[in-house]
Each structure stands twice: as structure tokens, then as C-alpha cells.
Amino acid sequence: MTERNFDFLMPSVNFFGPGVISKIGERAKTLGMQKPVIVTDKFLESLPNGAVAQVRRSLDAAGIDYVIYNQVEPNPKIHNIQAVKALYQANQADSLITIGGGSAHDTGKGAGIIMTNGDDITKLAGIETLKNALPPLIAVNTTAGTGSELTRHCVITNEETHYKFVVASWRNMPLVSFNDPTLMLDVPKGLTAATGMDAFVQAIEPFVSVDHNPITDSQCIQAIKLIETSLREAVANGHNLEARTHMVEAEMLAGMAFNNANLGYVHAMAHQLGGQYDAPHGVCCALLLPYVEEYNLIACPERFAELAKIMGENTDGLSTRNAAELAIKAMKQLSEDVGIPHSIKEIGAKIEDFEHMATNALKDGNAFSNPRKGTKEDIIKIFQAAYDAK
Ligand code: NAD
């Protein structure tokens, strides 16, 4: 048996289940929050009984004052985090409540980072670069998705260079997360598919990562099983509370897994597509997944053969290589079934961008845990395979 040492980072408090959102006012009071900035977008703010409305009711009942920033954008930009910081300081706020998907959480985290670690977030890209913790942050999650509500990552796009980068640090963890599946019942099909595929990739990449450990393995296995059985149903019938609940469980497990075992080239490359073309993150991940894993397969065929079994494929009597290939086939099938496009052409990718996107992908913190070490030329070939896909 191989003896292994590892440290394992867990978020502090996580509320989970239908209806838990009503507890946020009391929890904010317990934390001593007196004036949080709510970080969200106009659409979520406009829903009469959506997450923002329910959080406001609960804060009002607890007698907590707040201000709202409602300009979160998908693939959040540096100007978004600066605007939150300005609003926070102008109102002498003392905490943050992010409401939405990964973009809202990363906007809130990014604002917290520049309030406590210096104004230029581009200098903080990388792993464990933060010296100070964020102001208290509660993350209310509304997509089953990114895991950002409980991870140490913050993903921001530099709007001038289109470079999307990650700041990863244990000091960047939300204090409390809320995952209430009733807030996700009306997520449209396309967004359910994209965010669900993001969670799926976030369970696959840590499973084959060089940093995986027995705890992250068990989280990945359970997340993959839940996604394999529930994502199609959640896309087909958004009001199926059981399927939505399973997807939330899966995204939380995957979030905890990649918080510790890290990701790989899918995320390193997806960040380039998202930054360059402002494309939805989950779609970028799903489009790249089979081509990155075809490339990775020879580095750890046994892990891929195991993945095939976890995804319900019959591998009896097959060689490790043939079983491993079934895992890639199953990934493509899931993507197809939930309606993800086939080629990165469909999100506007251009061949002339591959070279600089490949250079930046190899600098992304997620690249370091990929099971196979590639060159810039290898990454360009993977972009090309995802471009040529039919
Ligand atoms: P998102 O936060 O960008 O939201 C996409 C859209 O969905 C928005 O227009 C929003 O209004 C809408 N939406 C959100 N909740 C909804 C609901 N309940 N009903 C209807 N519409 C709803 O999407 P996302 O996929 O959750 O986040 C993507 C971002 O997160 C990317 O920038 C990605 O890089 C980042 N990310 C961060 C981490 C991390 O750990 N920090 C991990 C993975 C991805």
C-alpha cells in the first residue's frame, strides 16, 4: 500500500436542501453582519420569488440592512469587482452576500480579494498568493454548477487582454454556502445542461489529476454517478426536485474534490475560450472534455477504465485500453444527450487564436495537475480536434 500525506480543505458551514434559504437572515445575524453588499445580477433581482427576493425577506426579518450590486456579468471582469469594492466602501459595508452562479460568487470573492490584498488582482493570479482573508462572505448558489460557493478559487477575466485567470487560496473561501435546490427549478434547459456538464468535468478532472487522494476519489465517484443518473432528467424536466437535488449534491461533491485534487487541461483551456469569446463556461468545458481526455488516456488508462465502470459501461472481458475508451464514449454521449454543441466553432473559436490560447492555457494553475504533461503544440492539437468535431 502506498502511504500518502495530504491536507484536505473543507468549507466551514454549508446549508443544503429544499427550503434552507429561509435561514440566511438568522445565520447572517449570528455572524454579526450588519450591512452586507448583495452581489447579483438584474435578472435574478427581478424574479418575484427568486433567490434575491427570498434572501431580502430573510434579511429584513432579521433586521439586517444591505445594499445591492446588480451588475454581475457572465465571465466576470475586473471592472465588476472594482465596482463592488467602490459600493462597499461608499456604504461602509461590512460583509458580502453573493447570489447566483459562479459569476456572482467570483465577483464577490474578487471584490473581497482587492479590498484585503491590494487593488491589482492580475498580480495575484496563481496558487496561494493571498496574504489576507476576505471580508465575511455568504454564497447563495443558484446553479448546479461551478462549486464556487464552497471553493478557494476565483476566476476573473481581464477585459483588456481577454485573459481569464484564477486566484486560488484557502483565504478565498466563503464562510458559509447555501445550496437550496428549490432555487434552481426554473433554470432553463441550456443553462442546466451547461452547468451540469461543468460539475461533471469537475468530477472527472480531479479523478485523473496527479493530486487525487482517497477522499477526493470517493467524492468524484459519487458525483459522477449522481450526474450520470440525474442530469438528463434535470434537463428534460427542470421541475423534478429529486433530479435537481441530486445535481446539487453532485456539484458540491465535485467542488470539494477539485478544491483539493485540482483540475486539468479541460479547465486550463476552457478558461481561454471563455475569456476570448465570452462563451458560457460549462459549454466550453463540455466541448473540450472528450478531446483532452483522449489525449490524457495513455497517462492513466486504469483510471479511465474505472471511470467507464462508474458511468455504467459494461467493461467485462475488455482490455484496459478498450475499457478506457468506453469512458470517453460515455462522456460524448452524455454531452450529446443534454444538447451541448459539437465543435468549438459553434462558440466562435478561430484557428488563428489557438497559439496564444495554448500559451496561456499552459500558464493556468489548473494545467499543473493534468495527468499528462503537454507542449504548446499538443494543446493546439487538442483545440484543433475540438474544432474539427462533428
Ligand atoms: P453564471 O453565474 O455565469 O450565470 C449564467 C446565467 O445564468 C446568468 O445570466 C444568470 O442570471 C443565470 N442564472 C443563474 N441562476 C439562475 C437561476 N436559478 N434561474 C435562472 N437563471 C439563472 O453561470 P455559472 O456557470 O454558474 O458560472 C460560470 C462562471 O463561474 C465562469 O466565469 C466560470 O469560469 C466560473 N467558475 C468558477 C469556479 C470557482 O471555483 N470559482 C469553478 C468553475 C467555474
In this model, does residue 66 exceed pLDDT 70? yes
Task: Report the pLDDT averaged over residues 325-331.
Answer: 98
Side by side, the strands of the sheet bearing 13-16 are: 13-16, 176-179, 137-141, 95-100, 36-39, 67-69
CATH fold of 13-184 reads Rossmann fold (3.40.50)
Quick one: what percent of the chain has pLDDT higher than 90?
A: 96
Domain boundaries, the chain: 13-184, 190-388
Q: Distance from the CA of 128 to the center of ligand 1, in angstroms?
A: 24
Report ipTM (2 d.p.): 0.99
The confidence score (pLDDT) of residue 320 equals: 98
The confidence score (pLDDT) of residue 7 equals: 80
Band (1; pLDDT cuts 50, 70, 90): very low
* Residue nearest (by alpha carbon) to ligand 1 atom 23: 101
Task: Report the pLDDT averaged over residues 188-208.
Answer: 98
Domains 13-184 and 190-388 share a fold: no
- When comparing pLDDT for 139 and 6, which is higher? 139
Q: Where are the alpha helices (DSSP H) in the chain?
A: 24-30, 42-46, 51-61, 78-90, 102-117, 189-208, 214-236, 241-261, 265-277, 281-296, 301-310, 320-337, 354-363, 376-388
In this model, does residue 94 exceed pLDDT 90? yes
**In a 3-state reduction of DSSP, which class is residue 12?**
coil
Q: Is 273 in the pocket of ligand 1 (CB under 6 A)?
A: no
Question: Is 57 within 8 Å of 26 (Cβ atoms)?
Answer: no
Q: Distance from the CA of 319 to the center of ligand 1, in angstroms?
A: 40
Task: Report the pLDDT averaged over residues 147-156.
Answer: 96
Give the model confidence (pLDDT) of 263-292 as tens digits.
999 999 999 999 999 999 999 999 999 999
Q: Distance from the CA of 58 to the center of ligand 1, in angstroms?
A: 23
> What is d(CA 8, CA 313) in angstroms, rounded to the nearest whole number?
31
Question: Which CATH superfamily hosts domain 190-388?
Answer: Dehydroquinate synthase-like - alpha domain (1.20.1090.10)
Q: Is 264 in the pocket of ligand 1 (CB under 6 A)?
A: no
Q: What is the mean pLDDT of the chain?
A: 96
The confidence score (pLDDT) of residue 10 equals: 75
